[in-house]
Amino acid sequence: MDITVQELKQKIESGDDFVLIDVRELHEHEEFNVGGQLIPVGTFMSAIPDLEEHKTDEVVVYCRSGNRSSMAKHLLEASGFSNVRNLTGGMLVWRENFG
C-alpha cells in the first residue's frame, strides 16, 4: 500500500520508526529533501544488500513524482521486503501541499 504526503508528514512529525529512502539524484536531494537516505535509483540494485536488516521494517521510498520510487519499491519487494510504500506524487505533491 502506498503512502500519501499527508501520511508521511505525520509519520515524520510523530517520530515513527521507519526507513525513508530518497531515490532521486544528488542534485535533486541537495535542492530539497525530507530527510530520506539518498540512494539514487541508478545505484539502487547494488544498495539492496545494505538494506537487508530492514526486510520486515516499514520502508518508504520517494522521488520527484513517484515513478522512480515505484521502480525501487518493486525491486525491494522482489528482494523479499515485505512492507514497502511508495510516496504517491513524490516531492512535487509534497511541495504543492507543504511548500
Check if 63 is active-site.
yes
In three-state secondary structure terms, 31 is helix
Name the nearest CA neighbour of 16 among 90, 83, 88, 95.
83
Catalytic residue among 21, 51, 63, 91: 63
Q: How many other CB atoms are there within 10 angstroms of residue 40's CB atom? A: 17
Instruction: Tell me the catalytic residues.
Output: 63
